[in-house]
Amino acid sequence: MSDIHIRIEGRAGRITLTREKALNALSYDMCLAIDAALRDWATDDSVALVILDAAGDKAFCAGGDIAELYETGTKGDFAYGRNFWRDEYRMNARIFEYPKPVVSFLQGFTMGGGVGIGCHGTHRIVCESSKISMPECGIGLVPDVGGSLLLALAPGRLGEYLGTTGHRMGAADAILAGFADHFIPQAQWPGLIADLQRTGDLNLLAQMAETPPEGQLEAMRAEIDACFAGETLADILTVLTARDDAFARSTLKTLSRHAPLSLACTVEMVHRLRATNTTMRRALDLEYRFTHRAMEQGDLLEGVRALIIDKDKSPKWQYAEAPVPAVAVSQMLMPLGPDALTFEEEE
């Protein structure tokens, strides 16, 4: 497949995203190819570790390819999207639960679906250009591909902030929030990958790690924790409105561009996952409840239309003029019954 290069080199299973002109956006076929390779290598004794990387300097993976989702969804065909998300989430779980080390190299943009590939392995490497984010609320989705689990596990209220605003994290911020492990300058990556392939020695990663350039989130922690401690989206918006300082005004401006239903569900999802002894599978199950309904009941099609297809940047969101009712959140996140996400051994 021209969009992805899968092979074994030395002791490493290698997966390189090669869809450079599309910022390595993840297609359905790429998702299935990654899952098949991981399945094969899990019991292959010649593969000691898996290395995930991508061509080009601009992006590891800027998200999922949503053009096909939009085209099918606008015709009333919701099955394509539901199947894509189901199989993608199973692949995300496979990376998170993989029996061998998974090392990912995350240059440039790692957004949405890219987080699902690159941020669930055992060793996640960032560099000077890394920009990691979960921007789904901007198109009427919620942070998915297992990203909701990372948000729930982030320190303080960073999860609510990152999930609702889509804030782009540099290297230091990604490490602080739990989306990455080591900062290694990108110029050193080719030699490091060659050494990993030859030796399989994961100690090389910590040995080569450096202190990243200063990030933004650490200095913002107190404000984020104060503003995003509310039980619901409405509580958060009330606090931000009352503060009327530079941070609050900037944050409110960002949130005003995003889908209210998605924002409210994101806050609820992070709280539910944080309140339990949660697992990746529980997070993916909760995400799938929303994405399964996102085209039919949510704002996804309108969000994609406004931001990506027509590019008028004027989406007509549900609940744009009034608070999101609690029942609307419950309806998006209620169990799917026979349509619920399943994993191999459950089927």
**Distance from C-alpha of 110 to C-alpha of 131, rounded to nearest angstrom:** 6
Q: Tell me how far apart the alpha carbons of residues 239 and 4 are, in angstroms, rounded to a whole number.
A: 46
- Which active-site residues does the annotation give? 64, 113, 136, 144
**For the chain, what is the radius of gyration of the CA atoms?**
20
Q: DSSP string covering 1-45, please? A: -TTEEEEEETTEEEEEE--GGGTTPBPHHHHHHHHHHHHHHTT-T
Could you tell me which residues come within 8 angstroms of residue 190 by beta carbon, excluding any fewer than 6 positions away?
none
Chain center to CA of 309: 22
Long-range Cβ contact pairs of 228-233 (< 8 A, separation 24 or more): 228/157, 228/160, 228/161, 228/164, 229/157, 230/267, 231/271, 232/264, 232/267, 232/268, 232/326, 233/164, 233/260, 233/263, 233/264, 233/267, 233/323, 233/324
**DSSP bridge pairs for 322:** none
- For 132-163, b where at least 16 C-beta lie within 10 A, e where not — what string? bbbbbbbbbbbbbbbbbbbbbbbebbbbbbbb
What is the separation of C-alpha 277 from the centre of its chain, rounded to a whole number of angstroms? Answer: 21
What ranges in 110-229 are assigned the alpha helix state H?
Answer: 113-118, 147-153, 158-165, 171-177, 189-199, 203-208, 217-227
